[in-house]
A and B are shown apart, each in its own frame.
Chain A
Amino acid sequence: MSARQMKLGLFLWATGHHIAAWRHPDAHVTAGIDIDHYIALAQTAEAAKFDMVFCEDAAGLREANVNIASQTSRSIGFEPISLLSALAAQTERIGLVSTASTSYNEPYGLARMFASLDNLSGGRAGWNLVTSASPIEAANFGATGLRPHADRYARAREFATVIIGLWNRRAAGHDGESFSVRDPLDIPPSPQGAPVMVQAGASDDGKDLAARTADVVFSAAQTFEDAKAFYDDLKGRLAAYGRQPDDVKIMPGVAPIVAATKAEAQAKYDALQELIPDDVGVALLSSYLSISDLGRYPIDGQLPELPESEGMKSRQALVIEQARRDGLSIRELARYFAGARGHWRVVGTAEQIADELQARFEGGAADGFNVMPSWFPGELDAFATLVVPELQRRGLFRRDYEGRTLREHLGLKRPI
């Protein structure tokens, strides 16, 4: 058999994944109102033979604190289904995946949107199912509060069942707890049969739903061990649903910073970190540690003694210990968290980054990666021109597309 190759997604987000991306001197600061910018990004990713571009989404602002929000670029952007439909007309091969919520849509309506995107693109669409946990979103849909976790997942399971049935032309007619649908879908299937199903939930409910319905799973893992544990856990759940390990592709996020030398890459990273406004960093750190506002303490001093809090996880407690041992100030610790956003950051040369990706790919911790450039377009360009060729030289990534649809790129079966 030909050697297994990794899958690559380009994760599009605002001006870049670093919280201060928009302040970088060369970052395209008007990204959120410039369609030509997004067309150029998608075309860059397509020229580099990426499997897909991926849009995260929320039906509301990201940050409730208006002062913090106004120091980031994440309060405005394109609605992703219209963005990807525009990109469909300006690309030929690359997959187009968008997030959409099961809490704030109806399955028949969302089935139509993605089926239409799938036809516009000749079979390149995918849907990332999210259940939406944010109270900011809930307030835009007449809800007074969040649904309990289990309820949201019950609705999501029913939603997934209905939409898969509609896309796959199963007998119409559904009358369930949350939804009723009478007719078959009025949009015919695309060349890939049905849009690719993507999920990213890391909870037990989320992983079970993914094992039952997803074609691709996005994840976040800092260490090889975490990535491997998630990979084995999810693949281990597939047999219960009559599926093979290869039926689901697991693609953890990676935030690379690449340059010709390690020192140069580190300098690029440090310069970005310098751009994080202190109050933004401290607010994000407070939120990450699930503790009330750290802003009351001197920013160049060390963390105060903190009471054990409900929301604090053991990993966060370890980080606090580490910070104490290393004598990090609140400012330094805040920048560390704000920059990484919980994802795996790799800083180095193309060879070093390829080594890291190869180790996780060949070590059974990933089928590919969702690439999260720190800022656009520069860090995407750097990854496309430095890291992708290195992966190709090693035979780890395609030199050209073989298929035309997203399912073909990913090596997925057609839905039955």
Chain B
Amino acid sequence: MGSTMHLAISLNIAATDGQDVLDFGQISAFVRKTEAAGVDMVIISDSADKPSSSPFEATTLLAALATVTDKIGLVAGASTLAHQPYNLARRFASLDIISHGRIGWNATTAQNPREAANFSRPEGFSDDDFRRRAREFIDIVRLLWIGWEHDALLFDKASGRFHDPDKMHPADFTGEFFSVRGPLNVARSPQDVPVLVMSGLAGTELDFASRRADVVLLDKLEPSGARATCDEIKRRAHEAGRDPVTIKVLAMADAGPEHDGRGLEDLCLSSGCDGIVLTVQPRAAALEALVERLLPDLKRHGFAKAKPGKTLRDRLGLSEDSKP
């Protein structure tokens, strides 16, 4: 087969049990070690559905991490309830420019009641409204990301033309939940469209993800269950007119002592997934064990061999077809 087995790490920095949180030095040292070990990307989230505490919000943390790394992909979780599409599109386009094209957005697809209560939506949305709103939100963000053509910026000091106004396109979006004129006031970013990661999917979201997502994370499943879901996603992507290789499905697994390189290689191969995502607890000892024990073992079993491309899209092998 010969295809690359991708390796990602998922780190939720929120402490739910009053334990010490990680500081920036600990997080950046960890991310740099995983970068050196060949990990494709780190996915960071910053909140939980029960009371928690974290010193950092994920997108701001990503900006700081982008300046101290240069190869690894950096993905932040950000919810469609806690942001406006225009603001979030700006944030991720900026991050993509800051990181020279290594950014992804893990779009939350499940409603967190804590967020609704703190973001002036005490009544929340019905599940169906929330899903339709999230889809609309994601489509607007993607539209805003491609508002400036690649060669729109001229920088022509002599003629006095900074950009070509004909290559700047408003989004002019009017939908059920949002209306957004655009264009973005951030330039086209190196990846055009930061990598869209979706997780925690079921039912209808699976269909939407098959059309839109670049990466889908599968909840912890037995290999047979993972195989069925992975096949289903690839089948639906194909039906939506995509080349199934442009959507990467990664199986999640704990980075705890119960797993070793051989077992995870078996999981990856028998599930037919494109790779795995290790979830690690935000504790110094857990991070150290992952770096010292599990990463070298995974490398021996064929993981973390992807060529570090210029961008995260290159690295994951996401082709032109996956762009909108």
Contacts and interface: CB of A to CB of B under 8 A. Distances in A.
B30 interface: no
Given A39-B67, A116-B56, A32 B187 contact: yes
A58 interface: yes
A187 B95 CA distance: 22
A186 B59 contact: no
B91 interface: yes
B60 A106 contact: no
Interface stretch (B33-41, B162-170, B285-293, B307-315): B162-170
Contact of B56 (A67, A120, A139): A120
B3 interface: no
Nearest to B118: A108
Interface stretch (A84-92, A215-223, A253-261, A354-362): A84-92
Contact of A187 (B57, B67, B157, B178): B57
B47 A59 contact: no
Contacts of A30: 153, 155
A304 interface: no
Contacts of A71: 160-162
A389 interface: no
Interface in B116-133: 117-122
Contacts of B148: 76
Q: Determine the interface band of chain B, counting residues with CB < 8 A from chain A.
A: 35 or more
A78 B119 contact: no
B52 interface: yes
B105 interface: no
Nearest to A101: B87
A141 B84 contact: yes
Given A66-B165, A70-B161, A79 B182 contact: no
**Number of contact residues on A: which range applies?**
35 or more
Contacts of A78: 94, 97-98, 186
Contact of B63 (A58, A83, A139, A179): A83
B14 A76 contact: no
A384 interface: no
B114 interface: yes
Interface in A57-101: 58-62, 66-67, 69-73, 75-79, 81-83, 85-86, 88-90
A298 interface: no
A70 B117 contact: no
Contacts of B60: 81-82, 85, 113, 116-117, 120
Contacts of B161: 70-71
B102 to A, nearest CB: 12
30 contacts: A22-B162, A29-B155, A33-B97, A35-B97, A39-B67, A61-B183, A70-B161, A70-B163, A70-B168, A71-B162, A75-B185, A79-B94, A81-B60, A82-B62, A83-B94, A83-B98, A85-B59, A85-B64, A88-B64, A89-B24, A89-B28, A106-B82, A108-B82, A120-B24, A120-B60, A120-B64, A142-B179, A180-B117, A182-B117, A183-B114
Interface of A: 22-25, 27, 29-30, 32-33, 35, 39, 58-62, 66-67, 69-73, 75-79, 81-83, 85-86, 88-90, 104-106, 108-109, 112-113, 115-117, 119-120, 136, 139-142, 175, 178-183, 186-188, 275, 277
